[in-house]
Structure 1
Amino acid sequence: MRYSVVVLAALWIAAAPALAGEVDPGVTAISASAQAERAAIGRTEAWFERRIAPLTGTTTRVARAGPLIGLAGNRGQFDCIDTTNNTNALLLILNELKLLRHHTIAAPVSRFLFTEGPHNTAMIKDHKTNELWTVDPWTHKGSEVPDIFPLAKWKGGE
């Protein structure tokens, strides 16, 4: 793992004063509905990566990095375990700031354990419907909005 929950939280705290005037509107408008909150989580993930990447050396992060495409051990890249941990760190920060009103953080999930190689991602649970949603930035370049899918769709390979 390139950056732990503690490191990302420390970066957030360290960067917060400098970013005070730049907070993405998605962060503060996160509570309109569960659907709006999921979209805001995606925008916030992308915003967070744009702001943190220059500090962490990950401005050139590619989609789907890992050993299968020769990027294992490259400190500027994240595998799916890294993005899962970092997304969970961001979700914990949003939760601590009382910005998650329609979802709770759920345990990370895996797919394709034996067929294509395992893939992991973060997950949230809708309070009203109990539906599980995946938050998967690994499938996109750094600073792009992550895929946010219902668990069944994600498990199917989306």
Structure 2
Amino acid sequence: MSLSRTRTRGVTAAALAALAATTLTVADAGASPAAAAAPQKRQIASSVLGTDYKITLTALRSTEDRYAASVRLQVYKKVGGAWKESDRVTVGDVGGWFWYPLTGSGAVCQFSTAGTEPAPLTVSLLLTPSLGCSEPAHYVVKQGRVYAD
């Protein structure tokens, strides 16, 4: 390999690195602050109770601590053929869960509902593989609202 060929590759690699850095900076500058601040979320459980209610559990990753997460329980009512949120509560403490166990396999230890009015609801989630599952949290869904049991 000649010395001139080595220099050309070195210049090309440096030029590509500079171009990539410029492209990333321009792309980041165009990103909206809301998109950058929006927490990552993942639905971890869902249940439909007859034709009246849909209940979901969603893990929300903390924007301050990449290992922390919160869990949102949402209740939806069927209105005019579409699901409309009627209530939401946080399961446990805000940021009180770990993101990776919540979004991995076996994250939901117990999620039980019933199609009655009021509808009992029990939630138990994986704390960590070594600690196991949380104590069950008990709720009641009555007329589209969530109440602690």
The alignment's TM-score, normalised by the length of structure 1, stands at 0.30
Higher strand share: 2
- Bigger radius of gyration: 2
Q: Please identify which structure carries the higher helix content.
A: 1
TM value normalised by structure 2: 0.31
